[in-house]
Amino acid sequence: MADALPDALPFSSRRALMPMWGQTALPQPAWPERWQSLQAAAVPDDALAYVHIPFCANHCVFCGFYRNGWNPESARRYTDRLIAELEADAACRTPGGSIRALYLGGGTPTLLAAEDLARLLLALRATLPLSDDCEITVEGRISHFTPDKVDACVAAGANRFSIGVQTFDTAIRRRLGRKHPGDEAASYLAWLASYSGQVVVADLIFGLPGQNEEIWRRDIDTALSLGLAGLDVYAFNLMPQLPIVRMIEKGAFPPAPGLAEQLAQYKIACHQLADAGWAQLSNSHFGAPAGGERNRYNLQIKSGTPCLAFGAGAGGNLAGVSYAVEPDLGRYLDTPARQKPLARMASGLAGSHWLAALQGEIESGCLALATLPVPARIMPLLQDWAGKGLLMLDGTHARLTTDGRFWGPTMMRQIADIALPDHRAGQTMTLHPIHTHKETA
């Protein structure tokens, strides 16, 4: 796909739609009855499930997902409570339906003991209607993911591992809070791919402080050499609350590269991966040729597919109602076993179901013009973006260029603002740590 090189950046910031954009919170007294009716129905066909494991071995300074430090006892207690949540939900639900992708995300699911990983996965298989071809992902990092845990996951049905690496550059890794040198991270991933025999994907971040183009090219080359099935490339999101912000202020890190440098690094990744024959499966995800990567959960969650949620801090949506499970670990653990530990319920904006579908199309890089909502408002935006080299219009579709794919979240936000102006104020954010999906951009 042709890339245009705009003289100036088309947007001054790169921002996404808030996950709860346009939703109306349901008052707490209404939750039990609403939850009961949602919960009693069968799982829809083609649904997803997300399970959150809110523990980390340390707080990596670049990350906004950290919630709780890990210790074996609280992780075991947490697994017990999570299994009770799964069983209580299953006991009320009408049988039927089908879950086509299940994601254990974090935090760091691979920190759980082998025994806890096994009993959790087996409980998920026993309580949820997983399809025969269900994509079952376990997220984590290389530290503490020992062969006995890999064996336990595979024996209990996991068929995909998503491992956060961020960069293979040892000096940057150390400052980020990752103790293994880059070459150990690389050999671990190569080992995991061949030893597990499952789909292994890795996360890399570009635009980190100190990460220049040369380092980033090497990161992609290294990733390409490991037998991985997939690769996520995320733009570094410098949220104000991150510990790294203080480190930059104190001079412990150089300033983070700006948007123009991030865009250049994104394009380097897209070109290197395309040259190696990898397919672009979403704006930030790539699949190796014949690697078996489906990326089903990540693609469908963006399109608003119904998703069941379990575990402290998890977010889900069913029948137009989104909900969050209690994020506070103590309160989650102390909720009686038969009660769903809910922290929020909200209903979607009437008539805005197209928003999620459009978000899915932007992720896939191609918008069908025939199904555009309020075309009179959105077509002028698309024409403007075509002039700026962000997309190409061919009469039936708008196809995002590589530049357009970098700015995809910002374009989505602008479309929502223009199409539904009444909901504009205060409804955007500079990307988000929400636990339905690890992706932050």
Ligand X SMILES: C[S@@+](CC[C@H](N)C(=O)[O-])C[C@H]1O[C@@H](n2cnc3c(N)ncnc32)[C@H](O)[C@@H]1O
Considering only 62, 70, 78, 332, the residue that binds ligand X (CB under 6 A) is: 62
379: buried, middle or exposed (CB in 10 Å: 19+, 13-18, 0-12)?
middle
- Binding string, 319-358, against ligand X, x = CB under 6 A? ----------------------------------------
Q: By C-beta, is 65 or 188 nearer to ligand SF4?
A: 65
Choosing among ligand X, ligand SF4, none, which partner's interface includes residue 237 (Cβ < 5 to 8 Å by kind)?
A: ligand X
Q: By C-beta, is 65 or 406 nearer to ligand X?
A: 65
Q: By C-beta, is 129 or 140 nearer to ligand X?
A: 140
My answer on whether omega of the bond before 311 falls inside 30° of 0, hence cis, is no
Q: Which amino acid is at 179?
A: K
Choosing among ligand SF4, ligand X, none, which partner's interface includes residue 360 (Cβ < 5 to 8 Å by kind)?
A: none
8: buried, middle or exposed (CB in 10 Å: 19+, 13-18, 0-12)?
exposed
Query: For residues 345 and 347, what is the distance between their CA atoms, to the nearest angstrom?
Result: 7
Helix ranges restricted to H, 93-227: 114-127, 147-155, 170-176, 182-196, 213-224
- Binding string, 67-106, against ligand X, x = CB under 6 A? ---------------------------------------x
Distance, C-alpha 112 to centroid of its chain: 20
Which range binds ligand X by CB under 6 A, 120-128, 137-145, 340-348, 381-389? 137-145
Asked whether 150 and 188 are in contact (CB, 8 A), the reply is: no
Which range binds ligand X by CB under 6 A, 59-67, 152-160, 330-338, 407-415? 59-67
**At how many degrees (to 10) do helices 147-155 and 182-196 cross?**
30
418 dihedral zone (left: phi>0; alpha: psi -120 to 50; beta): alpha
Considering only 65, 78, 103, 286, the residue that binds ligand X (CB under 6 A) is: 65
Q: What are phi and psi of 284, to 5 degrees?
A: -120, 5
Query: For residues 115 and 141, what is the distance between their CA atoms, to the nearest angstrom?
Result: 18
Q: Is 440 in the site for ligand X (CB under 6 A)?
A: yes
Q: By C-beta, is 59 or 76 nearer to ligand SF4?
A: 59
Choosing among ligand SF4, ligand X, none, which partner's interface includes residue 205 (Cβ < 5 to 8 Å by kind)?
A: ligand X
Helix ranges restricted to H, 46-202: 72-92, 114-127, 147-155, 170-176, 182-196
Asked whether 111 and 57 are in contact (CB, 8 A), the reply is: yes
Choosing among ligand X, ligand SF4, none, which partner's interface includes residue 210 (Cβ < 5 to 8 Å by kind)?
A: none
Strands 130-140 and 160-166: parallel
Question: What is the contact surface with ligand SF4 in residues (CB under 6 A)?
Answer: 56, 59-60, 63, 65-66, 106-108, 141, 164
- Whole-number minimum distance, CB 403 to ligand SF4, in Å? 28
Considering only 52, 93, 100, 141, the residue that binds ligand X (CB under 6 A) is: 141
Which range binds ligand X by CB under 6 A, 9-17, 70-78, 147-155, 234-242? 234-242
- Whole-number minimum distance, CB 224 to ligand SF4, in Å? 23
Residue numbers of the site for ligand X (CB under 6 A)? 60, 62-65, 106, 108, 139-141, 164, 166, 203, 205, 234, 236-237, 438, 440
